[in-house]
Amino acid sequence: MDASSRRSLKFALPVLVAMANAVCFAQPSQELREDAPAPAPLKSYATPAMEILGFDFLLNRYNHRFSGVSDYDVSLESIRRNLRSSWVVDSDPFSINQLGHPYQGSMYHGFARSSGLNYWESLGLTFVGSAGWEIAGENTRPSRNDQVASGIGGSFLGESLYRMANLLLEHGGGVARPFREVGAAIISPSNGFNRLVYGKGMGMIFDSHQPAYYSRLQLGVMGTARNESGLSTVVKRNELQADFSLEYGLPGKPGYQYRRPFDYFTFQATASSANTFESLMTRGLLLGRDYGSDNYRGIWGLYGSYDYISPQTFRISTTAVSVGTTGQWRANDKVVVQGTALAGVGYSAVGTVNGSSDQDYHYGVTPQALLALRVIHSNRASLDVTGREYFVSRAASGPGGHDNIARADIGLTVRITGLHAVTLKYLWNRRDATSTALGDRSQTRGTVGIFYTLLGHDQFGAVDWR
């Protein structure tokens, strides 16, 4: 592994490790017991608005000083021009538009949520904050693709990070308060800032209502089993990976209700020695209800999702809304089946990694679908299978054509002892691209790997309502 690969993995590992601190915290802390009434949080619209303005000012000054480009030379004239301009699709580097902007939006969302605003109020402030950056944070014309990534995708990502940070704070598990505070601040810096400044008032711990959740941290190595790189110039055949995943609000827990957006959500982040982030994906229930029978419990409704996937050969990022369901079926005393099925539409960016430049990609409207399945056998093993498909139209951004992207993730996890397990994994990604200018081309990469897995629960997340 070369020096750049080690730096890439070191950059992402602290965030994943901080998230993984919540894995073993299974008991509510004394700060917020399940039977204790939750105090009313302080609420302010002015505080997050001023924080977003201050954050954007500092970000603009930092970029102005260190970026080496003139995009951040903002003036009153550029602001007046942007207020009158029509919105465009910009061509900033893929990593800036599809990772940087959603993360920036997640900061806005965290400021709002930790100031006592509910999800929808925070979404609105995030959307307005993103528009403010487009108009006054840069001197280029405002871009609608950034508005989707920051104002909507950033809110989806921000709510997941906010909930995970508070889960770490709420479930102490005997870990000293300062360490929990630091870990939570790494996960959601804007929430950590408000807790530092306002303490238990405005930055109080979010009342999760004690959801059933399943989390795991995996560390291992992946090797290329099949590679059809297409236009990509460099592919590292072997890579170290660190993967953290959390499923929060699993259906079936008695008394748990889905009245707030993201009372159910999933989050997965994979850091790689090959390209820093192999994937970053989250989806949550925005509006819905629960249902069930004697052996089945489920939820259905409208989901919001943000996905970033980059398996070295190509990359795709999408912000979407979908209709679907998540549920659990108890087949017998030993076998439990959990799953999610979604179908929806999003706005996506897709392109080739290591092509002509980091700006070689395009946008399109994207019908998409997801099917995830977990089969749990007692407390010994689980088989996880997840399939995703995206159909990206190019009509909205340049020459005609389309991209069809499919991703399959298969993992068998066997518990060895306690919370310690081993996982065998196969990951397959394929992109079929059709363009009137470049013709047809395909990119495929399949990898196999072995991982040490730290489980959050020795029952693999199975919920018992009997």
pLDDT > 70: percent of the chain? 85
Q: What is the pLDDT of residues 372-396, one digit of tens each?
A: 999 999 889 999 999 999 999 875 4
| pLDDT at position 190 | 95
User: For residue 171, is pLDDT > 70?
Assistant: yes
User: For residue 25, is pLDDT > 50?
Assistant: no
Question: How far out from the chain centre does Cα 97 lie?
Answer: 15
Question: How far out from the chain centre does Cα 201 lie?
Answer: 28
User: For residue 160, is pLDDT > 80?
Assistant: yes
21 vs 213, more confident: 213
Q: What is the pLDDT of residues 96-144, one digit of tens each?
A: 999 999 999 999 999 999 999 999 999 999 999 999 999 999 999 999 9
The tokens for 40 are 């009313």
Residue holding tokens 């997801």? Answer: 370
When computed from its CA atoms, the radius of gyration of the chain, rounded to whole angstroms, is 22
> Mean of the pLDDT values across residues 357-383?
90
Q: What mean pLDDT, rounded, does the chain reach?
A: 87
Q: Which residues contact 319 (CB under 8 A, 6 or more apart)?
A: 102, 148, 149, 152, 153, 156, 305, 306, 346, 347, 348
Cβ proximity of 238 and 198 under 8 Å: no
Question: Which residues, in sequence order, are bridge partners of residue 329?
Answer: 296, 337
The domains found in the chain, sorted by start residue, are 46-198 (no CATH), 211-455 (2.40.160)
> Which DSSP category does 391 fall into?
E
| pLDDT at position 228 | 74
The whole-model pTM stands at: 0.90
Question: Which residues, in sequence order, are bridge partners of residue 427?
Answer: 409, 447
Binned at pLDDT 50, 70 and 90, residue 266 comes out as very high
Residue holding tokens 């679908």? Answer: 369
| pLDDT at position 282 | 98
Binned at pLDDT 50, 70 and 90, residue 400 comes out as low
d(CA 115, CA 427): 40
Question: Which residues, in sequence order, are bridge partners of residue 408?
Answer: 387, 428
- Range from 163-172, 315-324, 436-445 carrying the lowest mean pLDDT: 436-445
User: For residue 358, is pLDDT > 90?
Assistant: no
| pLDDT at position 18 | 55
User: For residue 430, is pLDDT > 90?
Assistant: yes
Number of other CB atoms surrounding residue 137 within 10 Å? 24
Dihedral class, residue 68 (left if φ above 0, else alpha if ψ from -120 to 50, else beta): left
H/E element holding 18? helix 3-20
| pLDDT at position 132 | 96
Binned at pLDDT 50, 70 and 90, residue 364 comes out as very high
Question: Which residues, in sequence order, are bridge partners of residue 335?
Answer: 377
| pLDDT at position 36 | 47
Q: What is the pLDDT of residues 217-235, one digit of tens each?
A: 999 999 988 777 666 556 7
Opening angle at CA 244, ends 369 and 169, nearest 5 = 115
The tokens for 198 are 């306002």
d(CA 125, CA 132): 10
Write the DSSP string, 261-276.
TTSSEEEEEEEETTTE
User: For residue 9, is pLDDT > 70?
Assistant: no
Binned at pLDDT 50, 70 and 90, residue 443 comes out as confident
> Mean of the pLDDT values across residues 299-319?
94
- Range from 124-128, 184-188, 294-298, 357-361 carrying the lowest mean pLDDT: 357-361
Label residues 235-255 b or e (16+ Cβ within 10 Å = b).
Answer: beeebbbbbbbbbbbbbbbee
d(CA 268, CA 448): 18
User: For residue 50, is pLDDT > 60?
Assistant: yes
User: For residue 309, is pLDDT > 60?
Assistant: yes
| pLDDT at position 399 | 58
| pLDDT at position 6 | 45
> Mean of the pLDDT values across residues 46-71?
93
Binned at pLDDT 50, 70 and 90, residue 436 comes out as low
The closest of 391, 346, 342, 349 to 369, measured between CA atoms, is 342
Residue 55, φ and ψ in degrees, nearest 5:
-60, -45
| pLDDT at position 257 | 94
The terminus-to-terminus CA distance of the chain in angstroms comes to: 50
